[in-house]
Chains A and B, each alone.
Chain A
């Protein structure tokens, strides 16, 4: 085998390898369903029915995908800078708090302005919640994985305190705030469609999806077209080289992690400003962790992340259908799938290198002969 045959072309490297890894993760998930005594093909058909079978289902699929685009981009921005931010949960909670405060501050007098301030508030609070772990990582070398996990627990307790205390709905029993003032919310997709003259069933899908796509574009621009994005990627690949080239690694670390926190914080736009229209305790439901799987599956590329987020949207919406129809399989199955995707697509990217290289070499060999 010649040296050139050993090197895989970019397309195989970027698409075929992660695809195979993800496929293995899904095959194992199917095996698990089979081991629990259920029919994986029936489960698969339920999955697609639930996710795409009717308009409301499609709405839900993209509604979940919106969350995962935000959290996936968050993980990915930090990862490009060489850090593993698993504090998406906490940052999203604080983002939700930020937008809630903005809405209650301005919502009664100027609903439209309050929505704009709320978007900024979500990003600001999410970014701020990432600041302390980021600063400790940059200046003291404190393990970012442990500190961000700790900040998740702290955020959860803080939100729980606020929602049974100062922010609780007056006279309410649940850990949730009052409803947002009239008009302080994001437009639903079905409303948008009817404005444009189409009809679409009601669903929680709202314009946050478009904001998420815009953010994906912004992250792509940041990473590939700006000086700071370049500095981030250099620092992520090799801190010493970056420092030698005059990049302030601590500064890049702090800013990159705060941008990551801001993106995670914006998840609240979809959940709270788009659907719930009030702040609820633990509204993040593990979506921050889904971002990890989404980022790795999407190979940390914004377009890949959008596609992976939609796939996880399918898993969440279709998975709910499975959990409803097959009682032995609970929605925890999706968390298992996430773990499998992370371990195969994230931790073992080279697992299939040998067989793929061999198959490719044979293919090329045939073509030449």
Chain B
């Protein structure tokens, strides 16, 4: 019985941890399918987390926080877009610059505005996205198995977690079933063809960056106003890079990317559960080693021992009209 509770708890926290990863990975996916490499997911997440927590603390509204998070993240995405599209600059360098800039800017502003050593004020539950109990969750609790799954696993998450899981089919639908999605994918594979057809490569890529900005904005807001209760220095802790690795592992496709995110989240949830637990044969694993798990997994996945990975052909290459 204890084993079963463990499974339920583990799955529950996997879903919770997966949400920001999924949103960020989808952001990276939209950008790269349009031909822009976005190493700056981490910075956009962190920036959105800070903006959301600050706005929520000042206005006492989680929704205002979310709006601020999205706005800031979109602004950073547009900056990256300007460097990548108009300036034809190095996209990796630009993404890393955004990561570093935000890592400094967020605590700098936090100290200047709130004087709390780089944190934002604590958000109580009225200023956060809290757990939602889905309809009939109480009634169905007693139905064997399915009831437990519905009531304990599916119900009782915060709104942004549901948004994250809903975003997967939406992004997949837009990418594969709409004309806009077709053009977006085309601009990442063969921008010359798109240009020849009389469609603006620049506009499409900016649109992709705005979508990426919105998704990253929700992701970062989830960190500070749903999973956490305020902004803490460096709270993204490499999640933007994990999301990027998940997207690569998911072969730049929405559903496999979702599965990859769930794998990362599961490992993260597992390492949380393993802390201080004595395992048979091995004994207790030092906490520093369990913390390493998601990072080691990322390296193993990127080593390509799990299949070949092909990026969109034009991804990372600036488009020059008269080339």
Contacts and interface: CB of A to CB of B under 8 A. Distances in A.
Contacts of B115: 327
A160 B104 CA distance: 24
Interface string A53-69: 00000000000000000
A334 B101 CA distance: 9
Interface stretch (A142-150, A201-209, A361-369): A142-150
A146 B103 contact: no
Contacts, number: 148
B244 interface: yes
A157 interface: yes
B87 to A, nearest CB: 5
B100 A339 contact: yes
A154 B292 contact: yes
Contact of B98 (A153, A328, A339, A350): A339
Given A332-B118, A339-B102, A350-B87, A143 B288 contact: no
A132 B299 contact: yes
Given A84-B93, A150-B295, A347-B90, A289 B238 contact: no
A339 B87 contact: no
A339 B118 contact: no
Contacts of B309: 141
A161 B286 CA distance: 8
Interface in A267-288: none
Contacts of A161: 286, 288-289
A247 B111 CA distance: 52
Contacts of B302: 136, 140, 142-143, 146-147
Contact of A146 (B87, B93, B112, B241): B241
Max chain A Cβ within 10 angstroms of own Cβ: one of B79, B289, B295: B295
A332 B110 CA distance: 10
Contacts of B304: 140-142
Interface string B77-93: 00100010001111111
Contacts of A248: none
A345 to B, nearest CB: 9
A149 B111 contact: no
Nearest to B304: A140
A348 interface: yes
Given A335-B100, A350-B87, 4 more contacts: A145-B92, A292-B100, A330-B107, A347-B87
